[in-house]
Structure 1
């Protein structure tokens, strides 16, 4: 259930994931509050996560949905058919970590996730900047 998260914001626990919100709503065209929502897409390499996200982004753009943002939290991703609005690789990249610290693929991912965890303010700043 809800609890008080970072900076006193409401937080919702979802398994091992903790979601933080500011408690502020986006304003619609008529000034009414609109609920912001998102999807977290997870799966094994080659499972179709990128294809799915590309399809959803395309479908929603055809429906004229504004304010659609894509956030990449995979520091090992190689390429996308679309532009990510927030990309963890701007903070830390698994390939660079592998080369710089002589780590394997798993070790570099662990390093990157721990690095992101220690720099969550970067992620919060990026997400707040999405409008």
Structure 2
């Protein structure tokens, strides 16, 4: 059975029998020399169990990295949520929503806003002067 042969292997008197077999002809007398935990099957089971319990070096390395990486990712995600939560509570939601809508409408009309500083400065503008080509030529911040 454990001969690693694809076909039956003939055994003669004095040959060692490792596992089960089929008796094709005659009488078969077998003496058990190894039983229980000493048998070939028990040894194979022990080898498979020890192979399953052992970790590859790369798996050990990945486990060490994940000990730091996973808590760090969880901490950063909670920090990000807390930041957005606090920004949402401190920022006037109508103003924030209006800025987002205005930025989107402006972009659809070809008006690009460089950043938040430009939007904050825009609230102080009283008058905008364009020339005939549509180029911004002056801003009155009085």
Normalising by structure 2, report the TM-score. 0.15
Structure possessing the higher radius of gyration over alpha carbons? 2
- Indicate the structure with greater strand content: 1
Identify the structure with bigger relative contact order (alpha carbons < 8 Å, sequence gap 6+). Answer: 1
- Indicate the structure with greater helix content: 2
Normalising by structure 1, report the TM-score. 0.16
